[in-house]
């Protein structure tokens, strides 16, 4: 993938492509966004464009040169990732980062650091980082990824270019929606755990599959709730829920069956299911294991 293939945030992506093309790259950026996967994807594709050996005329990476492939595989010698240790990024991690930035790049002209969940930095770590932001070594590029930039010290924010990312709207597949509806029905009916886990197996493969499954499950739970009171056709079409002109019905259950499910389990259980799904979404964003997250969700009812 390259910057040109990412959907949404066009103005920000255009500025990134122009910076990569002209090599007028700032020493520090903050990427703020609700979805951890979106922040990391944009950061990675931006750095690929900056370091690309054969970038395109629009500034996007070629996606196939040695530099791009190394970044895709997570083993580029000049790209350093910093993540929380436990619940926070400690002073020691920033100190190690500074030692690395003091060395010349191995493969090119830039040293890059991507700080994931940057707002978890301790105050001491942020104060140490401030020294690097004030006097960066030539070629330094630091990207701070966070859900909320306001949780960073103002002195840090003021020395970075801030990009606020909107969540990417990915289409939901019919297969995923039908799986979510089937799992949801079994879940609300308190089916045995082994049946639930088996029905949910396709969602356990990777983080994106799990996120799409949770999106579909929450849409289905929403329609289960609405079905008890719906008299105006307010139920969603999960396959194209952003297109109000689409009326085709796509859940495996009919409206009448959804209403029966809702009346059979009661509002309290539906509320608990929604809360469990939301907690699972937060756990995915915290980078907790996909299988552990989704299976743990099932046990909360």
End-to-end CA distance of the chain: 39
What pLDDT is stored for residue 199 in this prediction? 94
pLDDT in tens, 238-286: 544 444 433 344 688 888 899 999 999 999 999 999 999 989 988 876 6
Query: What whole-number distance in Å separates Cα of residue 46 and Cα of residue 254?
Result: 45
Query: What number is the average pLDDT over the span 178-196?
Result: 94
What pLDDT is stored for residue 236 in this prediction? 55
What pLDDT is stored for residue 250 in this prediction? 65
Burial of 248 (0-12, 13-18, 19+ CB in 10 A): exposed
Query: What number is the average pLDDT over the span 98-116?
Result: 91
Burial of 230 (0-12, 13-18, 19+ CB in 10 A): middle
Q: Provide the angle, in degrees to the nearest 10, between the axes of the packed helices 207-227 and 290-298.
A: 20
CA dihedral 243, 244, 249, 254 (to 10 degrees): 130
Query: What number is the average pLDDT over the span 81-102?
Result: 92
Q: What pLDDT band is residue 171 in, cutting at 50, 70 and 90?
A: low
Q: Specify the 3-state DSSP secondary structure of 79.
A: strand
| In the chain, where the domains are located | 3-164, 174-298
Q: What pLDDT band is residue 123 in, cutting at 50, 70 and 90?
A: very high
What pLDDT is stored for residue 53 in this prediction? 93
What pLDDT is stored for residue 162 in this prediction? 95
Counts of helices then strands in the chain (DSSP H, E) = 12, 5
Query: What whole-number distance in Å separates Cα of residue 42 and Cα of residue 108?
Result: 21
Please report, rounded to a whole number, the percentage of residues in the chain having pLDDT higher than 90. Answer: 63
Query: What whole-number distance in Å separates Cα of residue 273 and Cα of residue 261?
Result: 13
Query: What number is the average pLDDT over the span 282-294?
Result: 82
Work out whether strand 161-164 and strand 140-146 pair parallel, antiparallel, or are unpaired: unpaired
What pLDDT is stored for residue 235 in this prediction? 57
Largest CA distance in the chain: 67
Fold designation for 3-164: Rossmann fold (3.40.50)
Q: Structure pTM?
A: 0.60
Instruction: Please check the confidence at residue 188 and state whether its pLDDT lies above 60.
Output: yes
Q: What is the mean pLDDT of the chain?
A: 87
What pLDDT is stored for residue 16 in this prediction? 95
Strands of 2-78, DSSP E? 28-32
What pLDDT is stored for residue 248 in this prediction? 42
pLDDT in tens, 148-170: 899 999 999 999 999 998 866 55
Query: What number is the average pLDDT over the span 89-96?
Result: 94
Instruction: Please check the confidence at residue 294 and state whether its pLDDT lies above 90.
Output: yes
Q: How far is CA 52 from CA 45, 57, 76, in A?
A: 10, 12, 12
């Amino acid at each position: 993938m390259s910057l040109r293939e990412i959907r949404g945030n066009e103005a920000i992506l255009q500025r990134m492509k122009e910076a990569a093309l002209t090599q007028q790259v700032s020493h520090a950026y903050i990427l703020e966004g609700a979805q951890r996967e979106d922040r990391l994807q944009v950061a990675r594709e931006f750095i690929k464009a900056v370091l690309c050996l054969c970038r395109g005329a629009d500034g996007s990476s070629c996606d196939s040169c040695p530099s791009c492939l190394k970044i895709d595989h997570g083993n580029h010698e000049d790209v350093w990732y910093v993540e929380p240790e436990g619940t926070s990024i400690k002073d020691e991690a920033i100190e190690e980062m500074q030692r690395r930035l003091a060395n010349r790049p191995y493969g090119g002209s830039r040293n890059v650091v991507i700080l994931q969940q940057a707002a978890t930095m301790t105050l001491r770590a942020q104060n140490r980082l401030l020294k690097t932001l004030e006097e960066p070594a030539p070629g330094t590029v630091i990207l701070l990824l966070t859900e909320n930039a306001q949780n960073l010290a103002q002195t840090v924010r003021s020395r970075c270019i801030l990009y606020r990312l909107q969540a990417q709207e990915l289409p939901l597949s019919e297969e995923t929606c039908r799986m979510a509806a089937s799992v949801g029905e079994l879940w609300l009916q308190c089916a045995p755990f082994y049946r639930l886990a088996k029905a949910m197996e396709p969602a356990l493969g990777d983080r994106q599959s799990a996120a799409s499954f949770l999106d579909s499950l929450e849409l289905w739970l929403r329609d289960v709730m609405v079905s008890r009171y719906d008299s105006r056709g307010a139920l969603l079409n999960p396959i194209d829920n952003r297109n109000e002109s689409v009326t085709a019905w796509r859940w495996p259950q009919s409206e009448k069956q959804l209403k029966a499910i809702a009346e059979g389990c009661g509002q309290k259980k539906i509320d608990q299911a929604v809360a469990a799904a939301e907690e699972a979404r937060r756990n995915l964003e915290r980078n907790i294991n996909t299988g552990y997250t989704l299976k743990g969700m099932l046990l909360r009812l």
